[in-house]
Structure formats: structure tokens, C-alpha cells
Amino acid sequence: MDTHHINIRYSNLAESDCCLSCGKAINFAKPQAGEVCVDLGSGRGTDVIRMAQSVGENGKAIGVDVSEGMLKKAEKNAQKLGVSNVHFIQSELEHIVLDDSSIDLLISNCTINHATDKQQVWNEIHRILKKGGRFVVSDIYSLEEVPEKYRNDAQAVAECWAGAITKDEYLNQLTAAGFTNISILEESTPYPKGSIEVSSFTIAATKKKGACSCSS
């Protein structure tokens, strides 16, 4: 499945007031002065700007998104607030155009569920984090397998539910990518979304000091 529907949907939502989040990754992330931070699926750039302000002029915050509309809106928002240590780049989550071992802190909010190859996204997260670097990710998981007819419906995936996988599958992908010390920081009770039941959660882990940054 390509990202065409996602680009269209989110470019249309860029100027709206609608809430795009499903958790509070940013509130747990604690960016430190001088750090290099990234937000995967940065939307209107709100969390990137907050991280840029926290890390100060010796650090930077990078927003990664596939939607031109969102990237434009995010750049405008940063300019309006006079925040200059931000960069917004257009990239798919499965092929993040950032160097190996270059990121101290990675956050993402309600985005990874959209990716067709989520294992590849987690491999990429592991690749770009520095050794000892950390992620805090909020996302949704489904309470049961999403029926095939919805899983392949690009519109339903773009609406943040049909791409969801179960919690076990989710956590197994993190382990397969190389993360071992995973914590669940918050978790909702199940709620209906589209045609399924989902929960949202915020998870965190650190890349081991001795880990390899090879792309798999």
C-alpha cells in the first residue's frame, strides 16, 4: 500500500483544528539541552517545536512526515514562533532519511499504525538511535486481528485504525528490532474506532550501549 491516501488525508487536515494524537509521548520524553530529537509523523509540528525549545540552541529537533501539507504547516508554525533549531523532512517511516546512530531521543504520536511494514519502521528506529538513545512512542493497538477487508482499505488505514496490530504483535516487533527493556508508560481502556476496538498506549525503551546500528 503506498502513502498516497495518507498524504491526501493529512494535507487536507493540516489547517483544521482536529486533534491528531492518541497519547502523550511528548509529556514523558524529557528532552535535554543539546540533544538531537526526532518526531516521526510530526504533523503540524507542535511536538517538534516543543522539543526544539527544550534542547536549546545547541540541540535540534527534526520532524519527519510524508504529507506536504503537514510539512508546510509545521514550517509556518515554527517560523511564527521564531524557533530556528528545527528541520522538517519529507520521508516515509520505512525509509527514514537520517543517518545511523544520529538521534538521542525519538518520539512519535499516533503514526506508526499507518505504516504498511511496521517491523521495518522499528528496525529504522533502532538504526537511527544512538547507543543509549531512547524512544517514547504513543500509538494504538487493536484488541483482535483487523479483518482483511479493512486492513487493505487505504482510506481506513489513513483514518488511524485499520493498520493497527495487536499488542503482542506490537511488542514482538520491538523485540525483533533489538529493544529489550520496553516499558508501558500509559495505556487506555479499549474504545471503538472505525469497525474495531482499539486501545492506545505510550511505550518507551533505550537502545543498548553495545547494540549494532546495521539496517536489517
Ligand X SMILES: C[S@@+](CC[C@H](N)C(=O)[O-])C[C@H]1O[C@@H](n2cnc3c(N)ncnc32)[C@H](O)[C@@H]1O
Cα–Cα distance between 175 and 155 in angstroms, integer? 29
Within residues 43-62, the interface with ligand X by CB under 6 A covers 43
Within residues 147-176, the interface with ligand X by CB under 6 A covers 160
CB of 200 to ligand X, least distance (A): 11
Is 65 a binding residue for ligand X by CB under 6 A? The answer is: yes
CB distance 37 to 105 below 8 Å = yes
**Cα–Cα distances in Å, from 16 out to 10, 28, 32, 73, 79?**
10, 26, 31, 11, 19
For ligand X, give the closer residue by CB, 10 or 179. Answer: 10
**Cα–Cα distances in Å, from 181 out to 22, 55, 174?**
23, 25, 10
Is 3 a binding residue for ligand X by CB under 6 A? The answer is: yes
For ligand X, give the closer residue by CB, 93 or 105. Answer: 93
CB distance 111 to 100 below 8 Å = no
Query: For the chain, how are helix, strand and coil distributed in percent, rounded to 5?
Result: 35, 25, 40
Binds ligand X (CB under 6 A): choice among 8, 20, 171, 212: 20
Among 51-59, 103-111, 126-134, 188-196, the segment contacting ligand X (CB under 6 A): 103-111
Binds ligand X (CB under 6 A): choice among 29, 62, 66, 164: 66
Among 80-88, 109-117, 184-192, 196-204, the segment contacting ligand X (CB under 6 A): 109-117
Is 110 a binding residue for ligand X by CB under 6 A? The answer is: yes
CA angle 75, 77, 78 (to 5 degrees): 65
126: left (phi over 0), alpha (psi -120 to 50) or beta: alpha
Q: How many residues bind ligand X (CB under 6 A)?
A: 20
Binds ligand X (CB under 6 A): choice among 29, 55, 62, 70: 70
- Under the rule (CB under 6 A), what is the footprint of ligand X? 3, 6, 10, 20-21, 41-43, 65-67, 70, 92-93, 109-111, 114-115, 160
